[in-house]
Structure 1
Amino acid sequence: MTVEAPERIIEFPALKEAQGKLDAKRKELRDLLLEAGPEYDMSKVKSVQGDTHAKVAHIGSLNAALEDLKKDVDEKLVIARAAGAAKAAEQTEHGAKDVPDEPRTKNGQRKSIGELFVASQACKGYKSGSGMGPSAQLDIELKTLFTTGAGWAPESMRTGRVEMFATRPAPHVVEFFPQTTTAQASVVYMEETTYTNAAQETAEGGTYQEATLALTERAQQVRKVAVFLPVTDEQFEDEPRAQMYVENRLPFMLRQRLDLQVLVGDGTGQNLLGTASVSGIQTQAKGADTTPDAIYKLFRKIREDGFAEPSALFIRPAKWEEVRLLKTADGVYVWGHPSMPGPMTIWGVPAVETVAAPATSAVAGDYANFAELAVRRGIDVQVSNSHSTFFVEGKLAIRADVRVAAVHYRPKAFGVVSGL
């Protein structure tokens, strides 16, 4: 029975230093998680300043640092193992003469059958024409090789990167809505729906002309955008990053849905009322116009009829492509040369590419002055095992929701270009 010699590693200062840094960073992360407790209550963590988001971000930075330090140690271990193997080979070649060893070449490789035969007495002692020569025994390895198929497959560690599903980024649209807060179940306001200015020059003793004003009460209901995800106890217990991943991904889903609703929500049922569905907004059909011409005509209506200044245009990437690739008759790009970053504006108004916009329309308006996202309650994330049979199945229900209302105070300050 042959006993394989233990692996030799030649330690050197750089390896020792790298291992020390890795151990220290591991301890820092372990102490922080112990401080938070099994419920990951970040309010208990006193070693890191800031709110929950700052503390979670610190945990993320520790994980990233651990990955870099582990990679550094692994690289230095490769060098240390190579040095140990070289040292062992040198000692075997020059010192351990009484220990039988396999025939090897100078570079340490096992000799082939041909090399063994050439070096044998059978080859060296043979004389041409004699018909026979001395015999020799070739030491050829016949046992099954200990390969990855018969032994361990190579161990590959995950990089730590999680590639997210390709989906629409958010927030993208709501950034242009001024955000306020409300303590009510709806946002109620008055809109001046009749304005007749009868003012005119009048002679002495003449009759004054009668003006007309009328106000109408408007209201936008606060709506709840919600989502939940079932997760097993083991997933959170065995993978520390799973909880942070879920708690970040669910709020993203809410922001993504909110981005869509404030632009194209139809206002029925529990839907928010998006810009494109507001009654009384400006409309402009593309018709035979170019896309830039049709967009300018909409802007003109918003300025001339709505007495407002457009602050953003939301348009699909495929439709903005038609604008970006416009050329003059001699082939010069109107919106800038391909080698240069093109202007993301049209007629001086920021153009926002988003697939949240309607497929064949562009939406624009004076969001800065006449739109509002009223937040009744910000994003709230809660965890419970009381849903359905989750308690006896060892599952958790993680839910997230937000309550908001989208308000467009002056409909004529907004509009849609159709037929793109």
Structure 2
Amino acid sequence: MDPKLELQQLDAERAELLTKANEGTITPEEVTRADEVVKRIGDLADIIRKRDETAKALTEAGRGRTSEVRTKDDDGEQPAGRTIGQRFINSDAMKAHREANPLGVSGKPVSIKAAGLGSFAAKAQGDPTPLGTNLGGAIVYDRLPGIVDLTYPKPPTLLDLITRGTTATSYVEYRQLVAATAAADVVPERGLKPLSELTTQVAQAAAHVVADGIKVTNQELADDGIIAALIDSVLARNVWGKIEDLVLNGTGTNEPRGILNTTGVLNQAFATDIPTTIRKAITKLRTTSDTEVQAVVLNPADDEKLDLLQDANQRYYGNGPFGAGPSTIWGRPRFVSSKVAEGSSVLGDFSTVQLLEREGLTIEAFNQNEDDARHNLTYIRAEVRELLLIREPAKLLVAELAPKTP
């Protein structure tokens, strides 16, 4: 069978399995079949790509010139572009569109699809190769996330703290570690070896899709710089803002369950003031789950309150308005997120939160309907599919930074 025809048939089967996974009706046998379909689709994609590359090389040779292949730009970056927007305008799909419409489009059909542009965050920002797994829930760590340069920090976000990776499964049941009783001890010769006790609970993770789109004029579509900027600023900001919101506030109903709605996450009541409350929360994490706090995530309003704290002589406790040092509290980096409610804070070891990419980012541009075509508008959509796992809820804590109102 022709690889492209087989790929079309498998893609239809993939869509059916995806619907069942999203509805929660997929069976264990269908999960196994889904993994087989995903693997075969990847194999077929490689076959088609190699075949197309061979055809292109033979075509170029027939024209009497060597095919121009660049592996890196002068500055060492991949020629596809440093950002998602640049990768889109340098994609084969966009180049084919430019060749077919050298003078731009005006009322013509538009259909551009650039798939596999990579992780919105990890690859676009030059992070190390993402984590990988071919088995649902089997995570292999190859980097430690959340390391922050406290001297010259880049503006950090919550998504910089959590573990990022890839997965080949659409649904997984996994064990969340709620508590652990350490039994490690010295063992005499022929003595009975100790056994630590783990308290776990079963959690589920299903792949979810996060997408957003914007409409652009055909004049804007004809300008690479404008399209790249819109993708990087508007679409990237909106999509990753929504993912950050899901990591924190996801309800578990038709979306992943976030940190604030996960059973087992610790809580710290308000105590005197914000610094005292956070210090007590650090102690609670240390004594309850043997956790060293990686960072403290605050609402912008609470972060401002910390910056403006003064002593009796109106001297700032922190760096003040002209300080250049890092934003910390009790030596821990302060991360700011508008997705955290004012009057609360989330702190702990965020590497236990795992966001696994199921399907890489896809950027599409097309005429959504006849009205768009008549008005010279094109719809550009960004879409990514991921799973969210919270492995050890007790290593995270939600602190109340203000007293409860009666």
Distance 1:190 1:375, change over 3 A: same
Identity across the alignment (%): 24
Structure 1 counterpart of 2:170: 185
Which of 220, 226, 231 is the matching residue for 2:211? Answer: 226
Instruction: Find the counterpart in structure 1 of residue 229 from structure 2.
Output: 245
Task: Note closer, same or farther for the CA distance 1:231–1:292 as it changes in structure 2 (3 Å cut).
Answer: same
Please give the residue correspondences for 1:372-383 in structure 2 after superposition, counting only pairs within 5 Å. 372-383=354-365
SS at 1:363's partner residue? strand
Other-structure match for 1:350: 333
* Cα distance, 1:290–1:194 mapped onto 2, change above 3 Å: closer
State the SS of the aligned residue for 2:157.
Answer: coil
CA contact (8 A) 1:264 1:358 kept: no
CA-to-aligned-CA distance 1:157-179 (integer Å, 9 cap, x gap) = xxxxxxxxxxxx99721011121
What's 1:418 paired with? 400
Please say if residues 285 and 396 of structure 2, whose CA atoms lie closer than 8 Å, have aligned partners that are also in contact. Answer: yes
Aligned partner of 2:281 in structure 1 is: 298
Residue of structure 1 equivalent to 2:253: 268
SS of aligned partner of 1:52: coil
**Change in 2 beyond 3 A, CA 1:300/1:392:** same
Q: Does 1:397 align with 2:379?
A: yes
Structure 1 residue 197: deviation in Å?
Answer: 7.6
Alignment RMSD, CA only? 3.9
* Residue correspondences, number: 260
Deviation at 1:321, TM superposition (A): 2.5
Q: CA deviation at 1:339?
A: 3.4
CA distance in structure 2 between the aligned counterparts of 1:194 and 1:342, rounded to whole angstroms: 37
What SS class does the counterpart of residue 261 from structure 1 fall into?
helix
Alignment of 1:8-27 (within 5 A): none
Q: Is the alpha carbon distance of 1:51 and 1:190 closer, same or farther for their aligned partners in structure 2, counting shifts above 3 Å?
A: same
Indicate conservation of the 8 Å contact 1:251/1:379, yes or no.
no
What is the CA–CA distance in structure 2 between the aligned matches of 1:260 and 1:191, rounded to whole Å?
Answer: 21
Give the Å deviation of 1:345: 1.2
- Which secondary structure does the structure 2 equivalent of 1:340 belong to? coil
Q: Does the 8 Å contact 1:374/1:404 carry over to 2?
A: yes
For residue 268 of structure 2, the aligned residue among 284, 290, 296 is 284
Distance 2:280 2:303 in 1: 17
SS in 2 for 1:189: strand
Distance 1:247 1:45 in 2: 26
Q: Do 1:344 and 1:350's aligned partners in 2 also have CA atoms closer than 8 Å?
A: yes
Q: Which residue identity does 1:278 align to in structure 2? A: T
Partner of 1:51: 79
Q: Summarize the Cα distance change of 1:171–1:269 in structure 2 as closer, same or farther, 3 Å threshold.
A: farther
Q: Counterpart amino acid of 2:348? A: G
1:364 aligns with 2:347: yes
Specify which of 366, 376, 380 is matched with residue 384 of structure 1.
366
Aligned counterpart for 2:310 among listed residues 308, 327, 350: 327
What's the CA shift for 1:343? 3.9
Q: Show the 5 A alignment for 1:46-85.
A: 49=73, 50-54=78-82
Structure 2 residue matching 1:279: 3-state secondary structure: coil
Q: TM-score, normalised by structure 2?
A: 0.55
Give the direction of change, closer, same or farther, for the CA distance of 1:194–1:304 in structure 2 (3 Å limit): closer
Instruction: Give, in whole Å, the separation in 1 of the partners of 2:367 and 2:201.
Output: 48
Q: What do residues 155-212 of structure 1 show as CA deviations (whole Å, max 9, x unaligned)?
A: xxxxxxxxxxxxxx997210111211111113432235576789999xxxxxxx9997
Query: Does residue 254 of the first structure (1) align with residue 239 of the second (2)?
Result: yes
Please state whether the residue corresponding to 2:263 is helix, strand or coil. coil
- Distance apart, 1:409 and its partner CA: 0.9
- Contact 2:235–2:382 under 8 Å retained in 1: yes
Highest Rg: 1 or 2?
1
Compute the displacement of 1:376 (Å).
Answer: 1.1
CA distance, structure 1, for counterparts of residue 183 and residue 71 of structure 2: 70
Are the structure 2 counterparts of residues 347 and 48 from structure 1 closer, same or farther at C-alpha, using a change threshold of 3 Å?
closer
Task: Tell me by how many angstroms 1:266 deviates.
Answer: 2.5
- 1:291 deviates by 0.5
Question: TM-score normalised to the size of structure 1?
Answer: 0.53
Residues 1:210 and 1:396: Cα distance change in structure 2 (over 3 Å): closer
Residue 109 of structure 1 is matched in structure 2 by none
Q: Which runs of 5+ in 2 are unaligned?
A: 1-66, 90-153, 187-193
Gaps of 5+ in 1: 1-42, 61-168, 202-208
Give secondary structure in 2 for the equivalent of 1:303: helix
User: 1 CA distance for matches of 2:326 and 2:280?
Assistant: 20
Structure 1 residue 290: Cα displacement: 1.3
The verdict on how the C-alpha distance between 1:389 and 1:220 changes in structure 2, with shifts beyond 3 A counting, is same
Q: Relative to structure 2, which stretch is displaced further, 219-228 or 392-401?
A: 392-401
Look up the equivalent residue of 2:329 and give its one-letter code.
Answer: I
- Partner Cα separation in structure 2 for residue 340 and residue 194 of structure 1: 41
Distance 1:315 1:359 in 2: 8
Aligned-pair distance for 1:295?
A: 0.6
Deviation at residue 284 of structure 1 after TM alignment: 1.2
Between the aligned partners of 2:355 and 2:397, the Cα distance in structure 1 is: 18
Report the Cα offset of residue 261 of structure 1: 2.2
